Structure 1
Amino acid sequence: MKILLVGEYNRSHKSLKEGLLKLGHEAQVVGLTDGFKKVDIDIEIKHKFKSGFIKKFKVLIYKLLKVDLHSLSVKKQIQSLKQQLSGHDIVQFVNESPFLCLPKTEMDIFDLLTSWNDKAFLLSCGTDHLSVKYAYEKKFRYSILTPYFENRLPKANFALGLKYLEPDFVKLHNHIYNTIVGVISNDLDYTIPLMNHPKHLGLIPHAIHLDDIRFTPLTYDDKIVIFHGINRTNYIKKGNDIFEKALTIIKEKHPNKIEIITVEDVPYEVYIKAFDSAHILLDQVYAYDQGYNALEAMAKGKVVFTGAEQEWLDYYHLEEDTVAINALPDAHAIVKKLEWLITNPEKLIEISINARAFVEREHHHVKNAERYLKIWKTS
C-alpha cells in the first residue's frame, strides 16, 4: 500500500511510517516540524512566520485585515506539492488541525488532500474537539483543563486547546467526521471521549520504534537520579509546577539520596539522551495514559511518573505501580511515591524491566503498523 501521513505529533506518524516501511509498504509524512522538538518530516511545510519581525508583521496584518499569512502560505505550499501528495491508498491526518492554520484553511487543505487520495482516516492524537469538549464538561476526574478550572491558567492560553470549542473549529470537526472513513485513538485520554462514537475504529497504542531504543538495566549505588524535562509552553498543562513542588520537598527530606536533572525546551534528539543516567523520569500529571515521551523512557528502562490511571490498568490488565507510576495532581502524593522508591530501590529495577516488556508488547512500531493496516483494509 501507499500511505500519506499528514501532520506530526510527538513522532506518532514518524514511528508508524518506520513500521510500515518494515512491512514493505510505501509511506511518507508531510507536515510542520513538531515545534522545538524538531521531529524529522519527509515533506516539510515551512512555518515562515514563527518568530521575530516577520511574526509581528503577520500578527499586525491579521489585526488590520483579518488575513492570516501563515494559513495562506501553508495552503499555497500544499497546492504546489500536489504531485507528491496524490495517488495514495490511505491518507491519515494526525489530528483535526495539523497545520496550525485558521479552521477554514485547515478545511480547504483537508479537502485537497482527501480529493487527491483514496481512503481518509483521522487520528485522535493531541487535543481535538471531542477530547476538549469531554474535559470542558468535567467528565474526567482531572484533565489538562483542571488548571483552567482552578484559575491557574487564563482561557486565552492556547495550550489548553479551548479553540476547538469555537464555532469555526466545531464546523471543521463536523466536516472532517462527515468525510473520513473513521477515527483511530492513540491512548485512553482520547479513547474515553470517543466511546460509542459511530466513527471510532478503536484504540491503537502509540507506535514506538524499539529498534532504535536500547534497554539499559538500572543499577543503584548511593543516589537515585530523578529527571524532569520541562516544556515551558505547556508548563502548567503538563503539571511541571506540581512536579517542581514535589522535587523541592523531596530534596529537603532526602538531600543525600537523590540527584535531580532538569532540562527545558530542548530538541527531541537532546531530550532523549538527557535522561540516560536517570532512574526516574517525571513526565506529566493530567493524563490517564502515557504519551510518547513517557513510552520512550519506559522502553529505555526508566521508572516513569505519568498517566497510569485505573482505566489504563484495567484496559491492559495491570497492577498498580508495576509498569509506571500514576502521577496525581498532588505534590504530596508524588512525594509519597518518590519516597517509596527511594526507600525500596529494588522496586526501581523491577518496574524498569516490566516497563520495557510492556512497551515491547503493546507499542512495538511494527506490530502497531500491522494493526493500522488491518483497520485501513477492513474499514
Structure 2
Amino acid sequence: MKILLIGEYSRLHNSLKEGLKALGHQVTIAGFGDDFKNYPVDIRFKNPYSKGIPLFIKKVIYKLTGTDLSSVSIEKQFHKHKSKLVNFDIVQLINENPFSTLPKTEARLLEHLFRHNKKVYLLSCGADYVSVNFAFDKKFRYSIYTPYENNKVSKSEYWNILKWKTEPFKLLHLYVFNNVDGIISSDLDYHLPLLGYNKYLGLIPNPININKITLEPVSPTDKLVIFHGINDRNYYKKGNDIFDAALEIIKSIHGDKVEVIEARSLPYEEYIESYNTAHILLDQVYAYDQGYNALEAMAKGKVVFTGAEQEWLNHYNLEEDTVAINALPDAEKIAEKLEWLILHPEKIAEISKNARAFIEKEHHYILIAKKYIDTWSVTDKYF
C-alpha cells in the first residue's frame, strides 16, 4: 500500500514507517519533525515564527489584525507540496491539528487530504479535544490538567492544551471526526477518553524499533545513576518540578549513593545517547501509560519512572514495579521508590530485563505495523 503519515510526535511515525516498510509498503512522512527534536520527515514543513523576533512580530500582527503569520506561511508551504499529498491508500493524521494552524486554515488543508486520498485515519497520541475535555472533567485521578489547576503554569503557557476548550477548536474536532474513516489511540491516556465513540477502532501501542535501540546491560557501580531529562517548555506539564523535589529528598538522605545527570531540551539523537550510563530514568508524572521517551528507555533496559497506573497493569496483565515504576504526583512517594531501589540494587537488573522483554513483546515495531495494517483494512466492515 501507499501510505502517508502526517505529523511527527516523539518518533512515533518514523518507527511506524520503518515497520510498514519492512512489510513491503511505501511510506511518506510529512510534517515539522517535532520542533527541536528534529526527527526525519520526507516532506518538511517549517514554522518561521516560532521563536525570537519573528514570534514577537507574529503576536503583534495577530493582536492588531487577527492574521496568524504561521498559518499563512504553513498554508503556502502546503500548496507548494499539495501535489505530493494525493492518491494514497492510507493517510494517518498524528493529531486533529497536525499542521498547527488556526482551525479555519487547518480545515482547508485537511479537506484536500480527505478529498484526494482513499482513507484517512486519526491517531490520538497528544492533546486533542476528547482527551483534554476528559481530563478537565476530572475523569482521571490526575492528568495534564493538574499543573494548570494547581496554578503552576499560566494560560498562555498552556495554550496548546487550553485551545481545545475553545469553540473554533471544538468545530475543528467535529470536522475531523466526521470525515475520518476511523480513530486509533496510542496508549491508555487516549484510549480511556475515546471509549464509546463510534469511530474508535481501539488502542495500538506505540511502535519501537528495537533493532535501533541496544539493550544497555546494567553495570554494578558505587553509585546509582539517575537521569532526569527536561524539556523546558513542558517542565510543569511533565511533572519535572516534582522529580526535582524528589531528587532533593534523595540527595539529602543518600547523596553519597547517587549520581544525577540532567539534560535539557536536547535534539533526539543527542538525547537518546545521553542516558546510556544511567540505571534509572525519570520520564513524566501526569500519565497512566508510557510515552515514547519512556518506552525507548525501557528498550535500553532502564528502570523508568513514568505512567504505570493500575489501568496499565490490568491492560497488560503485569505486577506493580516489575516493568516500570509508576511516578505519582507526589515527591515523597517518588523518593520512597527511589530509596527502595537504592536499598535493593538487585531490583535494578530484574526490572531492566523485564522492561526490555515487555517492549519486545508489546511494542515491537513490525508487530505494531501489522496491527495498523489489520485495523486500516477492516474499517469498511464497520462504517
How much does 1:50 deviate? 2.0
How much does 1:110 deviate? 0.8
- 2:216 partner SS: coil
- 1:360 partner SS: helix
Give the letter aligned to residue 349 of structure 2.
I
The aligned counterpart of 1:249 is 249
How much does 1:165 deviate? 1.2
In the superposition, the TM-score normalised over structure 2's length comes to 0.97
- 1:277 partner SS: coil
Change (3 A) 1:55 1:159: closer
Q: Is the Cα contact below 8 Å between 2:309 and 2:326 reproduced in 1?
A: yes
Within a 5 Å distance, the mapping from 1:49-64 to structure 2 comes to: 49-64=49-64
Alpha-carbon distance in 2 for matches of 1:76, 1:107: 14
How much does 1:154 deviate? 2.3
Within a 5 Å distance, the mapping from 1:288-303 to structure 2 comes to: 288-303=288-303
Q: Is the Cα contact below 8 Å between 1:145 and 1:160 reproduced in 2?
A: no
- 1:210 partner SS: coil
Alpha-carbon distance in 2 for matches of 1:234, 1:21: 33
Alpha-carbon distance in 2 for matches of 1:36, 1:106: 22
Moved over 6 A (4+): none
Number of aligned residue pairs: 379
Alpha-carbon distance in 2 for matches of 1:92, 1:268: 23
Matched, 1:198 2:198: yes
The aligned counterpart of 1:20 is 20
How much does 1:158 deviate? 2.6
In the superposition, the TM-score normalised over structure 1's length comes to 0.98
Matched, 1:182 2:195: no
- 1:14 partner SS: helix
Matched, 1:3 2:9: no
Alpha-carbon distance in 2 for matches of 1:237, 1:359: 25
Alpha-carbon distance in 2 for matches of 1:52, 1:332: 38
Deviations 1:128-165 (A, max 9, x none): 00000000001100001111112222233236601111
Alpha-carbon distance in 2 for matches of 1:339, 1:159: 37
Structure 1 gap ranges (5+): none
Q: Is the Cα contact below 8 Å between 1:144 and 1:160 reproduced in 2?
A: no
Q: Is the Cα contact below 8 Å between 1:207 and 1:368 reproduced in 2?
A: yes
Matched, 1:68 2:68: yes
How much does 1:60 deviate? 1.8
- 1:263 partner SS: strand
The aligned counterpart of 1:237 is 237
Alpha-carbon distance in 1 for matches of 2:334, 2:196: 34
How much does 1:57 deviate? 2.0
Structure 2 gap ranges (5+): none
How much does 1:116 deviate? 1.7
The aligned counterpart of 1:81 is 81
The aligned counterpart of 2:209 is 209
How much does 1:42 deviate? 1.1
How much does 1:76 deviate? 1.5
Give the letter aligned to residue 217 of structure 1.
P
Q: Is the Cα contact below 8 Å between 1:242 and 1:330 reproduced in 2?
A: yes
The aligned counterpart of 1:311 is 311
How much does 1:366 deviate? 0.7
- 1:211 partner SS: coil
The aligned counterpart of 1:106 is 106
Give the letter aligned to residue 204 of structure 1.
I
Alpha-carbon distance in 2 for matches of 1:116, 1:183: 19
Deviations 1:70-126 (A, max 9, x none): 111111211221221111000110001112110111111111112121101000011
Give the letter aligned to residue 72 of structure 1.
V
Matched, 1:223 2:262: no
- 1:287 partner SS: coil
Deviations 1:204-255 (A, max 9, x none): 0011111100012212121100000011111001000000000011011011
The aligned counterpart of 1:171 is 171
Give the letter aligned to residue 369 of structure 1.
A
Matched, 1:96 2:118: no
- 2:256 partner SS: coil
- 1:228 partner SS: strand
The alignment's C-alpha RMSD in Å is: 1.0
The aligned counterpart of 1:132 is 132
Give the % identical residues. Answer: 55
Give the letter aligned to residue 149 of structure 2.
F
How much does 1:199 deviate? 1.1
Give the letter aligned to residue 177 of structure 2.
Y
Within a 5 Å distance, the mapping from 1:352-367 to structure 2 comes to: 352-367=352-367
Q: Is the Cα contact below 8 Å between 1:160 and 1:237 reproduced in 2?
A: no
Alpha-carbon distance in 2 for matches of 1:53, 1:157: 18
Alpha-carbon distance in 2 for matches of 1:350, 1:32: 39
Q: Is the Cα contact below 8 Å between 2:37 and 2:267 reproduced in 1?
A: yes
